[in-house]
A = this chain, B = another copy of it.
Amino acid sequence: VAHEEGDLNDFRAILGNDIAIKSYREGKLPFPDGTIIARLAWNYVSSEENNKVFGRAQSFVAGSATNLQFMVKDSKKYASTGGWGFAQFNNGKPAAEAVHKTCFACHQPVKDRDFVFTRYAP
């Protein structure tokens, strides 16, 4: 779970398949082949109905979905990008190839965590 302000201003939820969760729990890196990590995101919106209950403006919830992103580990197929295949879907349709070429560069700063930003929060 995360919130990005700035140009994104979204809420994010990060999900992993069983292989991903097992690696997270064991603290093992790199993630093994077959790992799938999904990142859902929604617009960050104020909730007037929740604010009424709390008696002040403090509540933010998930609005409409923005896009859906995946990381899939296949150390052979995606050898040139740290073993990760990156995908983005907008309204159920794959984003352009040009978009996908931008993914790996931004993940470089977390190379020591196998290019995955999300830490495990039990």
Contact residues in B for A50 (Cβ distance below 8 Å): 2, 117
A1 touches B117 (CB 8 A): no
Q: Which of A47-95 contact B (CB under 8 A)?
A: 47, 49-50, 52-54, 56-63, 65
Closest residue of chain B to A120, judged by CB? Answer: B62
Contact residues in B for A65 (Cβ distance below 8 Å): 121-122
- A-B complex: 3 closest residue pairs judged by Cβ atoms: A6-B58, A5-B58, A62-B121
* Count of identical protomers in the assembly: 2
Contact residues in B for A47 (Cβ distance below 8 Å): 2
Q: Is A4 an interface residue (CB 8 A)?
A: yes
Instruction: State A97–B79 Cα separation when bound (angstroms).
Output: 55
Contact residues in B for A13 (Cβ distance below 8 Å): 1, 13
Q: Is A100 an interface residue (CB 8 A)?
A: no
A62 touches B2 (CB 8 A): yes
CB distance from A21 to the nearest CB of B (A): 14
Closest residue of chain B to A113, judged by CB? Answer: B49
A1 touches B6 (CB 8 A): no
Give which listed residue, B5, B61, B117, contacts A2 with CB less than 8 A: B61
